Structure 1
């Protein structure tokens, strides 16, 4: 009989982990996030999550002005104890340092996008938007599965500079048509053809 491998999980410091710890700890699972000094491990995603992320990434890349770049699943440093990994970000082109880059600073992010998953509903709907707003990220989109055909519903938000909170600018079901943060016109029903 062979023994099952034992996993040794890191023991957090008394005040929680920092961003430096997140990037120094060996053998963390892919897509580990840091929220309020705690490590958050991501569960496997639904097909919907993968498809809608692809659909939005393609649409954003086609529409983004030349001074912006679209990235999937990259860590965004919000502060010393917060480094979530949005499903998509739009960043300033000058923030892209090279293909070995592992993170972006909040100041370089124009838009953060979260696709809601069953295991991350509370983080995606409440925790992350509050933290993105506090860090000054101007735009946030929350994407949910909706309707009988399980199509995306994209909730778009813009940061209110006075309250430092996001204000809802629209809920888009069949077509995502916006002029901010830049002009985009995307048929969300295209998810059926991916």
Structure 2
């Protein structure tokens, strides 16, 4: 039988303000854990990540930096302000280079973002598969990629925004190679996951 957890009787759980937190609060609240997101006015804390998650981000970030055309750049784990009550943090975003901003920039706007990428973790499945893509689409982010772990092998689901419905439509499912022409040319060997980038 596990040990009982005791709580200091004077401890008070943080209570959100009436109406919930706002996107500006993420820059003002003290002692927030790194990578805290704001979803529908509520703070969402990130759990410890797996090797798959970390290595997948490393592979994507390295290849995007290597292959992106001039005028685009990539950011890892930077939040996007979708409105007053929503400031999620995609795992990766491809941004317009002219929106990069200075070293103190803490968030981007939907118009800055060309692609939002989520690598699904067990604790974030519902958010990464359902709520966050809906919010990205509603904000007008044109492209969304979702990466799933299929027994240690990545599968990349690629979506494109249908402007007539304001929702994403599937544009491809990729297992061994992520080979795209839109929104830019890209060719990533997904089977190289776990190998040191650039070493083959």
Runs of 4+ in structure 1 deviating by more than 6 angstroms, as ranges, are 3-7
Q: 1:178 to 1:22 in 2, by over 3 A?
A: same
Provide TM-score, normalisation by structure 2: 0.91
Structure-2 change in CA distance of 1:28 and 1:192 (3 Å): closer
Distance (whole Å) between structure 1 residues aligned to residue 33 and residue 175 of structure 2: 34
CA distances 1:50-104 after superposition (whole Å, capped 9, x unpaired): 0001101111111111101100000100011000000000011111111221110
Pick aligned residue for 1:174 from 161, 173, 176: 176
Q: Structure 1 residue 69 and structure 2 residue 66: aligned?
A: no
Q: Secondary structure of the residue that 1:27 maps to in structure 2? A: coil
Deviation per CA, 1:106-159: give whole Å up to 9, x if none: 110000000000000000000000000000000000000114xx1110000000
**Aligned residue for 1:104?**
108
Q: Which runs of 5+ in 1 are unaligned?
A: none
Distance 1:124 1:39, change over 3 A: same
Q: CA deviation at 1:10?
A: 2.9
1:192: Cα distance to partner? 3.6
Q: Does the 8 A contact of 1:37 with 1:82 survive in 2?
A: yes
Question: Number of residues paired by the alignment?
Answer: 190
Q: Does 1:86 align with 2:90?
A: yes
